[in-house]
């Protein structure tokens, strides 16, 4: 999908994201994962700021999103939760930070929408400090054969409507990227994954 069209899809969903009332499982997953965040944090595709209630005190968040409408909602949430935060409106696939800039990098439900998820994984591996951590809450193709078949059938329609792929093998992509996975918890018939990872070792010049 052409990137400007994708941005327009997410702009239109900003109010829905802000008003969305996640179920108890989703809130618990966010809290469980984000309790491990520390130091300087980079959050990819912050959306309407759904993670902000669950960050520990004392962190500094750099929040990115390519949707201006989403960022406006996230800024309001940051004020409400007294977050120490900066905001950047840009496509993460086109962004650049100095290597080893962040102690923690967070992605929650963002890898379904990237055109080149492996490139993004390569970037965040470089941006994360060697002793830092990369935290994921992502959804993808189910480990249940019948359910995965249904996902593959409806995926083209869901992508056109919501800008989101439902058939990506998230754990497989992270393994392929070379990130070091320390822990994985999977839920909802293998559709949802909480992943704790480290950047891949950097080659010395």
| Strand order from edge to edge, sheet including 180-187 | 85-89, 60-65, 40-44, 102-108, 128-139, 192-198, 180-187
Mean pLDDT of the chain: 91
Say whether pLDDT at 2 is over 80: no
pLDDT tens digits, one per residue of 75-88: 999 999 999 999 99
Of residues 15 and 44, which shows the higher confidence score? 44
Please report how many Cα atoms fall inside a 13 Å half-sphere around the Cα of residue 144, on the Cβ side: 11
Confidence class for position 16, pLDDT limits 50, 70, 90? low
pTM of the model: 0.90
The 10 Å Cβ neighbour count of residue 38 is 14
3-state secondary structure of 138: strand
pLDDT tens digits, one per residue of 159-190: 888 778 999 999 999 999 999 999 999 999 99
């Amino acid at each position: 999908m052409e990137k400007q069209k994708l941005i327009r899809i997410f702009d239109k969903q900003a109010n829905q994201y802000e008003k969305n009332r996640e179920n108890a499982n989703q809130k618990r997953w966010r809290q469980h994962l984000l309790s491990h965040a520390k130091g300087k944090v980079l959050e990819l595709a912050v959306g309407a700021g759904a993670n902000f209630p669950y960050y520990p005190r004392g962190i500094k968040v750099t929040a990115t999103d390519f949707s201006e409408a989403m960022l406006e909602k996230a800024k309001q949430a940051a004020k409400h939760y007294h977050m120490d935060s900066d905001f950047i409106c840009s496509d993460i696939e086109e962004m650049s930070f100095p290597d080893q800039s962040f102690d923690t990098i967070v992605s929650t439900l963002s890898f379904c929408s990237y055109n080149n998820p492996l490139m993004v994984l390569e970037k965040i591996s470089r941006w994360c400090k060697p002793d830092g951590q990369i935290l994921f809450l992502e959804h993808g193709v189910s480990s249940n054969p019948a359910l995965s078949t249904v996902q593959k059938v409806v995926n083209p329609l869901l992508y056109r409507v919501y800008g989101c792929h439902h058939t990506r093998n998230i754990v497989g992509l992270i393994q392929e990227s070379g990130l070091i996975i320390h822990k994985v918890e999977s839920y909802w018939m293998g559709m949802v994954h909480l992943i704790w990872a480290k950047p891949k070792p950097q080659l010395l010049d």
